[in-house]
Amino acid sequence: MTAAALGLAACSSESETTGETATVGDAIGGDAAGVGGMAGDRTIADNIAASPDHSSFAAALRQAGLAATLAGTGPFTVFAPTDAAFTQVPPVTRDGWMRPAQQSVLAGVLNYHIVPGKLTAADLAAQIDAAGGQLTLKTVDNQELTARKSGDSILLTSASGNKAIVTQPDVEQANGVVHVVDAVLLPRM
């Protein structure tokens, strides 16, 4: 398990910028509704399941038994890795997570992408500034996830040290908000 976690942590780019990201400023001034097949009047679970860019995340949520949670009232802030983010995870690790015997491990990884409450990009930016440049978020399973600004983007750093950039902020949902990220974040295992 530790080897798999280290392998995934090594997959994430150490660079703090990626080629194509939406900026915090764009999120504040723009409307991201309808991104990737998502609609603001549906739940996070429904939108993730309908998104052509999040089929791996949707399958993992179903396997871990978390789709029902994200169909609930919320509100939730979800940092949703794309299918491309999941391809950064070594296949042996991805396949292992999807085994029934690893359901609790998979749930731990996925819960690490969920923060209670609704935090827009503007909320995150303001809280990062108020915290002196680095904000510690508590995930739904009480793990710590670090957020800070990297240029005009939001950079997330997991407890295991891997990083993800918010590539599409503020995708409104009926029960919260989704921020699309370019990597799968790993909690300390």
Count of domains forming the chain: 1
The mean pLDDT of the chain is 84
Model pLDDT for residues 148-179, shown as the tens digit of each residue: 999 999 999 999 999 999 999 999 999 999 99
Q: Has residue 136 got a pLDDT over 50?
A: yes
- Residue 31: partners with Cβ closer than 8 Å, 6 or more residues away: none
Residue 186 forms part of a structural domain: no
Residues spanned by the domain of 158: 2-13+22-181
Residue 48 forms part of a structural domain: yes
Residue 187 forms part of a structural domain: no
Residue 120 forms part of a structural domain: yes
Residue 85 forms part of a structural domain: yes
More confident: 93 or 39: 93
Amino acid 5: pLDDT: 38
Residue 188 forms part of a structural domain: no
Amino acid 41: pLDDT: 79
DSSP strands (E only) in the chain: 76-81, 114-116, 135-138, 144-150, 153-157, 163-173, 176-181
Return the CATH number at 115.
Answer: 2.30.180.10
Amino acid 14: pLDDT: 36
Residue 105 forms part of a structural domain: yes
- Weakest mean pLDDT among 4-18, 95-109, 160-174: 4-18
pTM for this one? 0.82
Model pLDDT for residues 22-74, shown as the tens digit of each residue: 333 333 223 334 455 666 678 999 999 999 999 999 999 999 999 999 999 99
Q: 133, exposed or middle or buried, with CB in 10 Å at 0-12, 13-18, 19+?
A: exposed
Q: Has residue 133 got a pLDDT over 50?
A: yes
Amino acid 22: pLDDT: 37
Residue 103 forms part of a structural domain: yes
Amino acid 181: pLDDT: 98
- In this structure, what token pair is assigned to residue 149? 């600004």
